[in-house]
Amino acid sequence: MCAAGLAAVSTHIRCVDAAREAARLAARGDNGGDVARNLAPEGAAVLIRRDGDFVVATVTARSAMLPGLAVEAKAVAAVEPASR
């Protein structure tokens, strides 16, 4: 059970990292989705959307040892003036 918990935490950390990078890059006008897919756990869903002057990146994945557990992370970044 302890190993399953550590795997879930590791999955969450990777989702957080992927969402942060995706939001940051998309706010600059770059393709954050490709980078997020490389950083996120295998099979993760990556969604990047614009919300006014912000970009919201959401990364959702399943924990390898607890497949019934969906792990999600969101990150928000302000759109940079040059990419508006």
pLDDT of 46-72, one tens digit each?
999 999 999 999 999 998 888 888 999
pLDDT tens digit sequence for 36-48: 999 999 999 999 9
Measure the CA–CA gap between 29 and 56, rounded to whole angstroms: 13
Distances (CA, A) of 41 to 3, 33, 51: 17, 13, 25
User: How many CA atoms does the CB half-sphere of 14 hold within 13 Å?
Assistant: 23
Q: Per the structure block, which two tokens stand in for 82?
A: 């040059």
Q: What is the structure's pLDDT at 84?
A: 64
Q: What is the structure's pLDDT at 14?
A: 96
Q: How is domain 2-83 classified at the architecture level of CATH? A: 2-Layer Sandwich (3.30)
Mean pLDDT of the chain: 92
Domain spans in the chain, listed from the N-terminal domain onward? 2-83
Contact 64, 11 (CB under 8 A): yes
